[in-house]
Chain A
Amino acid sequence: GQQLNQSPQSMFIQEGEDVSMNCTSSSIFNTWLWYKQEPGEGPVLLIALYKAGELTSNGRLTAQFGITRKDSFLNISASIPSDVGIYFCAGPYTGANSKLTFGKGITLSVRP
């Protein structure tokens, strides 16, 4: 099946640092999405990417759709304590744009 790989499972950074996460797959995706989940809540969409090579920003967050269409990257600059949470990459199942498969997520901790 289509799997999205995210590692490591956890990341610990100091407030003010930049952090980069990536997501890879053995399958080609035509859409890449990044979601963030805060404790006790459902995931919230951060950035959506629809074109190979696309680079999109949302405040301090920047995401890129890999040229091979098999990977995507999320960068957070100048981290702050409220960046803590679980970051998921996601993409639609082949031939079913309305269904998403999710990576296992990366738990980000930010030390003040």
Chain B
Amino acid sequence: NAGVTQTPKFQVLKTGQSMTLQCAQDMNHNSMYWYRQDPGMGLRLIYYSASEGTTDKGEVPNGYNVSRLNKREFSLRLESAAPSQTSVYFCATGGFGVSGKLFFGSGTQLSVL
């Protein structure tokens, strides 16, 4: 039982390159989230998906797109990476009726040069 799996673990990009961060969960949760973590800034919500087929913007959505491929998978895409997107990205999931009880993946460390 893997829980929440994120790939890749590490990535280095050049400015302007694109990439997709993958997230898959086997917890049968409806809600999935993408957060970014920067030193001294805590965790900030980028996008979330309350259920399969729906996505909504969070606090810092600019420069990102998401796809809720099915109930298990939620991907985050950077179309044209910028140095300001250097961060650690976390995917999380949550079930209906378990307010606040999010389960996080182990993160993707992204550097944009």
Interface residues of A, Cβ cutoff 8 Å to B? 1, 9, 31, 33, 40-45, 48, 50, 88, 90-92, 97-105
- Cα A50 to Cα B45 with chains together (Å): 22
Contact A104–B42 (Cβ < 8 Å): yes
Instruction: State whether B100 touches A100 (Cβ < 8 A).
Output: yes
Q: How far is the CB of A10 from chain B (nearest CB, A)?
A: 10
Say whether B101 contacts A48, CB under 8 Å.
Answer: yes
Q: Is the CB of A88 within 8 A of B100?
A: no
A-B contact pairs, 9 of them (CB 8 A): A42-B104, A42-B106, A44-B104, A90-B43, A91-B100, A92-B100, A100-B100, A100-B102, A102-B42
- What count of chain B residues pass the 8 Å CB interface test? 26
Q: Which label, helix, strand, loop or mixed, suits the secondary structure of the A interface?
A: strand
Is residue B50 within 8 Å, beta carbon to beta carbon, of the partner chain? yes
Chain B contacts for A88, CB-based, 8 A: 42-43
Asked if A100 and B106 sit within 8 Å, CB to CB, the answer is no
- Given A40-B106, A43-B104, A92 contacting B43 (CB threshold 8 A): no
B residues 27-69 in Cβ contact with A at 8 Å: 31, 33, 35, 40-45, 48, 50, 58-59
Cβ B105 vs Cβ A33 within 8 A: no
Complex contacts, B4 vs chain A, CB 8 Å? 42
Q: Are A103 and B104 in contact (CB under 8 A)?
A: no
Instruction: Point out which of B59, B99, B105, B107 has the most chain A C-beta atoms below 10 A from its C-beta.
Output: B99
Contact partners of B74 in chain A: CB under 8 A: none
Cβ–Cβ contact B107 & A41, under 8 A: yes
Nearest chain-A residue to B102 (Cβ)? Answer: A100
Counting from the closest, the 10 A-B pairs by CB-CB distance are: A42-B104, A104-B42, A102-B43, A97-B99, A33-B100, A102-B42, A98-B31, A31-B100, A42-B90, A43-B104
Question: Which has the most chain B C-beta neighbours within 10 Å: A9, A100, A102?
Answer: A100
